[in-house]
Amino acid sequence: MTYTTILTETRGKVGLVTLNRPQAMNAFNSTMLTELFDALEAFDNDENVGAMVVTGNEKAFAAGADIKEMAEASPFEMITQGRVEKWDRIRGIKKVVIAAVSGWALGGGCEFAISCDMIVASESAKFGQPEITIGVIPGAGGTQRLARLLGKQLAMEMVINNRTLTAAEALQFGLVNRVVPITGYLDAAIAFAEEIASRAPMAVRMAKDSVNAAFETTLTEGLKAEKRNFYPLFSTEDQKEGMKAFIEKRKANWNGK
């Protein structure tokens, strides 16, 4: 498929999506949002892809939404265009998605990064939700995900008072998985994704679903979700192969079945 605002490629078993609107610091317009999720869904359905990485460039992962598209919009137009609802598509991706963030991840850029399963950040990465400075609030999950990831106080400060987190702070507060030098952040993210892609595909899928359940349900319901994901894995060929390989002290050969 041909895209106009993103670039896609595969590196081994990793699907790579690069946001490609450098003239606008990779701000999300409607076309980019559609193309981004189309590409992720295509990789999600590709048996040769085991995990995905989304990145921007060294200066900006994504500097928010394209304000020019929204400046004169009415509530009716925002609702009928379904702009915010487009973001819900990330929740339908079953494989692991890693955000490789360098430079600015603001507004929608921050919201997309934290909606991914993991984040690898360069030392220059900065995360923020500056919507309050233009008279609105985050609308693509920022208020909810930040509160769950960081706690109420820090989330309040970011959303209400435009606090920006440096890469080091993001690591300290648990927002990102690791911080690496700018020159190697993308390679580190791809290597991370390759590790995940080398694991039993169905187990990874069930593990992702179970961890996500912890953020969306009570403990009781989350434990039920974990059991629903745990028991069916014993009907898979990969479970038999994985345990046999462990007993035989050899590397498992996964087939995704």
> Given strand 165-166, what is the order of strands in its sheet?
60-62, 104-106, 126-128, 165-166
Of 63, 65, 100, 193, which is the active-site residue?
65
**77 counts as catalytic:** no
**226 counts as catalytic:** no
Query: ∠ CA 250-187-30 to the nearest 5 degrees?
Result: 120
Of 107, 131, 140, 170, which is the active-site residue?
131
Tokens 């819900």 sit at which residue? 88
Of 15, 56, 111, 225, which is the active-site residue?
111
> Given strand 178-180, what is the order of strands in its sheet?
6-11, 14-19, 51-55, 96-101, 118-122, 178-180
Of 108, 128, 141, 242, which is the active-site residue?
108
Helix residue ranges per DSSP H, 8-151: 30-44, 67-70, 75-81, 108-115, 142-150
Nearest Cα to Cα of residue 120 among 212, 51, 64, 66: 51
- Read off φ and ψ for residue 4, nearest 5 degrees: -110, -20
**131 counts as catalytic:** yes
Query: ∠ CA 219-224-225 to the nearest 5 degrees?
Result: 95
Report the C-alpha gap between 57 and 220 in whole angstroms. Answer: 42
| Residue 180 burial (CB count, 10 A) | 20
Q: Which residues contact 9 (CB under 8 A, 6 or more apart)?
A: 16
**65 counts as catalytic:** yes
Q: Which residues contact 31 (CB under 8 A, 6 or more apart)?
A: 4, 5
Active site residues: 65, 108, 111, 131
